[in-house]
Amino acid sequence: MIQFKYTILYVDSVEKSMDFYAQVFGLNVKFITPEHDYGELSTGEVRLAFTSKELANQNLSRGFKSGKIGDLPFGIELGFTTDNVEQLIEAAISQGAQLVEKIQEKPWGQKVAYIQDLDGFLIEVCTPLD
């Protein structure tokens, strides 16, 4: 059996990034190593995980592309749905996120906005599709 279990973001500070996602999106800490170089947040069946860039470099002999807030985002996004996009965007910005695209209403009625988290990862915040 194959199961999609987690997405790992390579970050400057595992604790700081986990705190951002916990504060803004209400996610609970599932696990963090004593060294604070890897941690997971509960999001349901799939976990959102974080590893320090130092640990990631130990795992990947050729290295990896690293971004930061304000850079063009990577060609991937994390998606969070909410009934109140405005409130969630404001909360994220107050915790250090940067607005990438302001809230727009799509032709199908969904509200969508984009921010970058503390490490430059792209996050879509939108109303749910029913």
Q: What is the pLDDT of residues 74-83, one digit of tens each?
A: 999 999 999 9
Q: Please tell me whether residues 12 and 51 are part of one structural domain.
A: yes
For the residues 114-121, what does the mean pLDDT come to? 97
**How far is 61 from 115, CA to CA, in rounded Å?**
31
For the residues 68-95, what does the mean pLDDT come to? 95
DSSP state of 95: T
Range of the domain at 37: 6-59
Residue 68: strand, helix, or coil: coil
The CATH number of residue 107's host domain is 3.30.720.110
| Burial bucket for residue 51 (CB in 10 Å: 0-12, 13-18, 19+) | buried
Phi-psi domain of 109 (left: phi exceeds 0; alpha: psi -120 through 50; beta: other):
left
Strands (E), 43-108: 47-52, 77-81, 98-105
Q: Which residues, in sequence order, are CB contacts of 22 under 8 Å at separation 6+?
A: 28, 29, 41
Task: List, for residues 4-13, the tens digit of each pLDDT value.
Answer: 999 999 999 9
The CATH number of residue 42's host domain is 3.10.180.10
The count of domains in the chain is 2
In a domain, 71, yes or no: no
